[in-house]
């Protein structure tokens, strides 16, 4: 959950000299950043440093990260004609640096902790491509989804095909688990999820599962979607803090593992409240096998790094 990033001085130091995309595109930099949290925190896995949006560029949807504003897509996908122009890509040709980063990381990690690869789910990727950046209402995304369902499904088909292969390529390069981020899927209700997102996400999760590595399936705001998300697939379902962990697990089913779900803003508050929150998550997991303790979403840039160090340590102790 953005375990590498701006809350760490060593990351900010590197970012002062390189843009985010430069770091993503240069394996030696991406390797260094991936290892920063592994070297500092008691964490049980490394997550590849990259970004969800990297596949957009080779698909003909270029973007940049604007200072303080997040991603900006230069020519958003707004019509059926725009969807027709979206290209497929072959990860081994278009994003070889990501695969190189994975190969080097496996060497550098020397089995200390496993390495997680990742990619975005079609709904979340489509929402960036269509909105042109972050959104509150997903109005344009839903306008295309409801108004031009054929174009919507074609766009998601293109993402699903490309991303499925991208995840397989990451596993071939050495990723020992993969996570599919459907970060903004909570914008949909269960019926729309089943109609407009599930079949496409399933295709990606099936392809990832065929490699044999564990597959994590994450979203936020998903309290009403958990059964359907589990149906779509994933050995592990990642949940945010808006639903108590035990309740979420019941909905997901005890044949699946669960990842979560401490509110990351607790890291900004007093220590007793943070520890109480962590204890509550662990109590709700009830010592059942198959719980991965994690935050419910990304660490915020203003988070004091010593709190994160302490949380990782305390989670193990508890």
Q: Specify the residue, 3 or 141, whose C-beta has the smaller distance to ligand CP3.
A: 3
- Alpha-carbon Rg for the chain, nearest whole angstrom, is 19
Q: Minimum distance from CB of 309 to ligand CP3 (Å)?
A: 15
Minimal distance, residue 1 CB to ligand CP3, in Å: 6
Q: How many CA atoms are closer than 13 Å to the CA of 104, on its beta-carbon side?
A: 18
CB of 288 to ligand CP3, least distance (A): 26
DSSP collapsed to 3 states, 262-299: ECHHHHHCCHHHHHHHHHHHHHHHCCCCCEEEEECCCC
SS3 for 197?
Answer: helix
Q: Which residues are catalytic?
A: 2, 6, 15, 51, 128
Q: Least distance to ligand CP3 from the beta carbon of 150, Å? A: 26
Residues engaged in binding ligand CP3 (CB under 6 A): 1-6, 15, 20, 47, 49, 51-53, 65, 70-71, 118, 134, 181, 183, 298
Helix axes 122-131, 139-147, angle to 10 degrees: 110
In the complex, residue closest to ligand CP3 by CB: 183
The residue (of 221 and 246) whose beta carbon lies closer to ligand CP3 is 221
Please identify, using beta-carbon distances, which residue of 12 and 283 lies nearer to ligand CP3: 12
Secondary structure, 3-state, 48-62? CCCCCCHHHHHHCCC
Cis, bond preceding 187 (omega within 30 deg of 0): no
Residue 313: count other Cβ atoms within 10 Å of its Cβ: 12
Strand order in the sheet with 177-182: 46-47, 115-120, 177-182, 215-219, 236-238, 257-262, 291-295
Least distance to ligand CP3 from the beta carbon of 220, Å?
A: 7
């Amino acid at each position: 959950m953005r375990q590498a990033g701006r809350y760490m001085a060593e990351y900010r130091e590197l970012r002062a000299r390189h843009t985010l995309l430069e770091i993503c595109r240069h394996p030696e930099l991406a390797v260094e950043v991936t290892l920063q949290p592994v070297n500092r925190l008691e964490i049980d896995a490394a997550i590849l440093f990259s970004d969800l949006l990297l596949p957009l560029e080779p698909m003909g949807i270029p973007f940049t990260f604007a200072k303080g504003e997040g991603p900006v897509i230069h020519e958003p996908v707004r019509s059926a004609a725009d969807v027709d122009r979206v290209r497929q890509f072959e990860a081994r040709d278009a994003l070889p640096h990501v695969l190189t980063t994975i190969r080097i990381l496996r060497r550098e990690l020397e089995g200390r902790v496993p390495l997680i690869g990742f990619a975005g789910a079609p709904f979340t990727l489509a929402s960036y491509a269509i909105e042109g950046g972050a959104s509150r209402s997903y109005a344009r995304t839903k306008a295309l989804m409801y108004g031009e369902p054929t174009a919507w499904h074609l766009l998601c088909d293109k993402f699903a095909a490309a991303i499925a292969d991208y995840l397989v390529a990451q596993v071939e390069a050495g990723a020992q688990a993969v996570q599919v981020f459907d970060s903004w899927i909570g914008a949909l209700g269960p019926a729309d999820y089943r109609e407009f997102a599930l079949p496409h996400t399933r295709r990606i999760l099936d392809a990832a599962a065929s490699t044999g590595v564990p597959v994590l399936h994450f979203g936020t705001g998903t309290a009403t979607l958990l059964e359907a998300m589990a149906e779509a697939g994933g050995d592990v379902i990642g949940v945010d803090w808006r639903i108590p962990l035990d309740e979420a697990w019941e909905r997901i089913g005890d044949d699946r593992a669960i990842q979560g779900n401490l509110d990351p803003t607790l890291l900004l508050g007093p220590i007793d409240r943070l520890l109480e929150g962590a204890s509550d998550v662990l109590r709700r997991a009830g010592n059942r096998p198959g719980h991965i303790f994690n935050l419910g979403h990304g660490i915020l840039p203003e988070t004091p790094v010593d709190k994160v160090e302490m949380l990782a340590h305390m989670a193990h102790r508890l």
